Structure 1
């Protein structure tokens, strides 16, 4: 099973399903592996890291024709990056558009949201998303509170605003997964989050949003109160090939997959799985935790 992405899918009821977007051997259509609370997993991660494929103009994911091996910092090979419909948009900073002409036309006529998100780390992050999926974008990142600070037509203009705001003192455009994990037990009340947003808005010379517009995202993660901080399954820079992931799913907060085994919590940045294969059938040989008998 080849992992191509981590997905949060909104349901008709306005809730979210979370899981892995995967390729199975010989299949031409990707599969969504849902991760549900209490689900037991016993995975072994296999390398090498290989290309996840490319999105076509209909936003359908296609497999890499050559299953090309790639470096750990990439998710696509060169040819698939060139064919991918939105690859240039992901790297866009609002200066020069490098998207395909058809994509550029669609981008110009799409409504975007420039947003501010607050994390338990204390960080205030600015970002851009198409307006229709802005809440999904917040949840993908594991934000605790977020608000739209400006709506604008055209992705290039939105990126220019993001770039300008991101240079302000105390503002970031990314928060490390390991930092998010260290603050899973840190409290953050909505009035404190709103105070941070108001302070940022004044610094940026923007109207202060109404407090009612600040979205509390905690209910979407559905993570119970933890009595201890989860320990990392993989430390930064550690090789992922051969890593074993074992436990019952506690929840997914943004990219953080939190597991429990006999009262011990662990986590992994699920984005690190992208491009690797998961072996769900192999015997788990080396486990530094108790409770293995529940899984064999």
Structure 2
């Protein structure tokens, strides 16, 4: 039984598990207990029309044959495809990650809030609506001279126990004509920064973007679900020695 994918918050919050080629979608909800130990890890293969095609290569989460790059993510307004196909209304947005990481991004207008939740943003502002992706990427590239267009996982883990610096956020927004604002909630709070780990054992505290937050032995852990992809899941709790937070000894 191999974990071959995941759905972040905004898309349902689930683990995708393959067993003999069929895909099972295991929904993750607060209060659930996960009792999986992580076995060997290899390439997660590919999911094609609901069927998993396995790969035995050792590279993880994907080998060179199954690594795909979404060219639109690297586009700056000069199309990298043979023919431009993003003729749909796009939104340019700013996203805030506590306490004061601010990024610019682009998505199809109809997916705006979903995209924000997939990333785990705390606040956001819709600042431009344009007719296609090329124009949106050009605007994004210009704004990216001042703001980041990528947020690392460690920064997102740090945001779990922080609050957005509202003054800094409002200062960023003064340079834009804001169309709409988003104050995003994920249904849980943690008092201290979780320990970053790669485990699938514990009580589900919540999910924020692709960060799965688990409580195990008095410590709260943040698991990047991408780091789980490719592992064989074995029934039974992990027997690894895990790093504990100082609060677990109180």
> Smaller-chain TM-score range?
0.7 to 0.9
Question: Residues of 1 paired with 2:160 and 2:101: CA distance?
Answer: 14
Question: Residues of 1 paired with 2:142 and 2:42: CA distance?
Answer: 35
Aligned residue pairs total 244
Closer/same/farther in 2, CA of residues 149 and 269 from structure 1, 3 Å limit = same
- Find the counterpart in structure 2 of residue 240 from structure 1: none
Structure 2 length-normalised TM? 0.82
Answer whether contact 1:53 1:61 (CA < 8 A) is retained.
no
1:214 paired residue among 171, 175, 181: 181
Q: Does 1:69 align with 2:62?
A: no
Closer/same/farther in 2, CA of residues 196 and 138 from structure 1, 3 Å limit = farther
- Find the counterpart in structure 1 of residue 78 from structure 2: 95
Question: Residues of 2 paired with 1:22 and 1:197: CA distance?
Answer: 41
- Find the counterpart in structure 1 of residue 37 from structure 2: 44
Answer whether contact 1:194 1:214 (CA < 8 A) is retained.
no
| Structure 1 stretches of at least 4 aligned residues deviating more than 4 Å after TM superposition | 287-290
- Find the counterpart in structure 1 of residue 115 from structure 2: 137
1:230 paired residue among 194, 201, 218: 194
Higher mean displacement: 144-153 or 88-97: 88-97
Compare the two structures and name the one with the higher strand fraction. Answer: 2
1:24 paired residue among 7, 19, 33: 19
- Find the counterpart in structure 1 of residue 65 from structure 2: 78
Deviation at 1:127, TM superposition (A): 0.7
Q: Does 1:151 align with 2:129?
A: yes
- Find the counterpart in structure 2 of residue 5 from structure 1: 5
Closer/same/farther in 2, CA of residues 9 and 195 from structure 1, 3 Å limit = closer
Specify every segment of 5 or more residues in structure 1 that has no aligned partner in the other structure, as ranges. Answer: 11-15, 235-243, 291-296
- Find the counterpart in structure 1 of residue 167 from structure 2: 192
Question: Residues of 2 paired with 1:155 and 1:262: CA distance?
Answer: 47
Compare the two structures and name the one with the higher helix fraction. Answer: 1
Deviation at 1:272, TM superposition (A): 1.4
Secondary structure at 2:139's aligned position in 1?
A: helix
Specify every segment of 5 or more residues in structure 2 that has no aligned partner in the other structure, as ranges. Answer: 245-250
Q: Does 1:128 align with 2:106?
A: yes
Answer whether contact 1:114 1:161 (CA < 8 A) is retained.
yes
Secondary structure at 2:13's aligned position in 1?
A: strand
The alignment's C-alpha RMSD in Å is: 2.9
1:90-126 alpha-carbon deviations (Å, 9 max, x no partner):
4433323225x5xx43x2x211111100110301100
Closer/same/farther in 2, CA of residues 46 and 123 from structure 1, 3 Å limit = same
1:56-79 alpha-carbon deviations (Å, 9 max, x no partner):
xxxx46544x6153644x646436
